[in-house]
């Protein structure tokens, strides 16, 4: 089943205790597309400026990613982010963010993408997420991401969007902020009342939690020996989830659990090097190999 992804495509500079990567490919849609394409074909919708390096597109062309929804906007500059991680690298300090083209009108979904069955709306203003939803014909599953900025400053808009999606993927701090609850299972149940049929709460190195009306299910993170750059981990996790669901054309309880496991494995690949270096070099066989190890790790009598 077709998988459509919207989000940012940008130019990052990232500092971590392991080094600095300057002016590298970044953005939620870029991480998502590369991760999900390990499992299923991806339709990418995004916008960049005239300054976007053409050689950045090479990493996409080696995968089954349809770039006909990628707009290069005349007279505009590409989204840029400069972040720094310290200590345990659990969160980044944003040193500079230049919205540039992301602060302008969003791109349109091409007509031949509007029949997409599975849709992931990466983090952006919830009103913009709804403009994407309005362009779709008959999607089977829509999942969105969000952030503290929209929860704090645009809650009414976010609640409208949550009424139009089937699932949401957010981190533990965002889940607590949105729900007003400290316990994550309770927080997930509160978010369900806002519209989605499932909520996935990312907990960083502690894994992820799935909450639906029927159950709560948790998985640990895939153990990674060295984390060089956590940027894109959450988008890669979402990519593994949505890529698997689209590939099997299901999103029932067992499918969601299997999807989370693939998300954990793909996220573990991304964080082992800066920017897209690891995820762009990964293969479906590597994902399956990690998945087998992950299953073995979780198996016990």
pLDDT at residue 185, rounded to an integer: 97
DSSP 96-133: EEE-GGGGSPPPPPPGGGTT-SEEEE-SS-HHHHHHHH
Q: Delimit the domains of the chain by residue range.
A: 3-298
The 8-class DSSP code of residue 74 comes to: T
What is the model's pLDDT at position 195? 97
Structure tokens that stand for 128 in this block: 């913009």
pLDDT for 234-288, tens place per residue?
Answer: 999 999 999 999 999 999 999 999 999 999 999 999 999 999 999 999 999 999 9
Tell me, what's the pLDDT at 46? 96
pLDDT at site 249: 97
What is the number of other CB atoms lying within 10 angstroms of the CB of residue 262?
Answer: 27
Instruction: Report d(CA 6, CA 136) in Å as an integer.
Output: 12
Three-state DSSP at 94 gives: strand
Residues 263, 240 contacting (CB under 8 angstroms):
yes
> What pLDDT digit, counting tens, does each position of 170-196 carry?
999 999 999 999 999 999 999 999 999
Query: Do 3 and 42 touch, CB atoms closer than 8 A?
Result: yes
Whole-number pLDDT of residue 89: 84
Q: Could you tell me which residues come within 8 angstroms of residue 21 by beta carbon, excluding any fewer than 6 positions away?
A: 12, 13, 14, 229, 274, 275
Task: Give residue 300's pLDDT.
Answer: 83
Contact yes or no for 59/38 (Cβ under 8 A): no
**Sequence-ordered list of residues with C-beta below 8 angstroms from that of 13, at least 6 positions apart, any chain:** 20, 21, 22, 23, 24, 80, 81, 82, 83
Residue the block writes with tokens 């509007």: 114
Q: What is the pTM of this model?
A: 0.95
3-298 fold:
3.40.1190
pLDDT at residue 40 in the model: 98
Between CA 25 and CA 107 the distance in angstroms is 19
Q: Is 183 buried (19+), middle (13-18) or exposed (0-12) by CB count in 10 A?
A: exposed
What's the pLDDT at 90?
78
Q: Residues of the chain whose pLDDT is less than 50? A: none
């Amino acid at each position: 089943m077709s998988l459509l992804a919207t989000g940012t495509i940008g130019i990052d500079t990232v500092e971590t205790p392991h080094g600095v990567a300057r002016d590298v490919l970044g953005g939620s849609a870029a991480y998502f597309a590369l991760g999900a394409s390990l499992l299923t074909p991806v339709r990418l919708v995004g916008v960049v400026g005239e300054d976007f390096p053409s050689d950045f597109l090479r990493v996409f062309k080696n995968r089954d990613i349809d770039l006909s929804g990628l707009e290069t906007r005349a007279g505009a500059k590409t989204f840029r982010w400069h972040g720094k991680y310290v200590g345990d690298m659990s969160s980044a300090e944003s040193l500079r963010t230049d919205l540039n083209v992301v602060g302008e009108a969003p791109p349109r979904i091409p007509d031949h993408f509007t029949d997409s069955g599975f849709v992931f709306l990466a983090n952006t203003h919830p009103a913009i997420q709804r403009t994407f939803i309005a362009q779709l014909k008959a999607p089977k599953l829509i999942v969105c991401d969000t952030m503290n900025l929209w929860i704090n400053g645009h809650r009414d808009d976010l609640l409208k969007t949550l009424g139009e999606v089937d699932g949401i993927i957010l981190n533990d701090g965002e889940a607590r902020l949105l729900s007003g609850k400290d316990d994550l299972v309770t927080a997930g149940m509160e978010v369900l009342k806002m519209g989605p049929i499932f909520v996935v709460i990312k907990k960083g190195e502690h894994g992820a939690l799935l909450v639906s009306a029927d159950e709560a299910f948790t998985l640990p993170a895939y153990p990674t020996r060295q984390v060089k750059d956590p940027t894109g981990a959450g988008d890669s996790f979402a990519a593994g989830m949505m890529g698997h669901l689209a590939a099997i054309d299901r999103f029932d309880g067992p499918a969601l659990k299997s999807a989370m496991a693939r998300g954990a494995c793909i996220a573990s690949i991304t964080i082992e090097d800066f920017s897209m270096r690891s995820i762009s070099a990964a293969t479906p066989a590597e994902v399956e190999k990690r998945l087998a190890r992950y299953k073995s790790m979780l198996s016990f009598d």
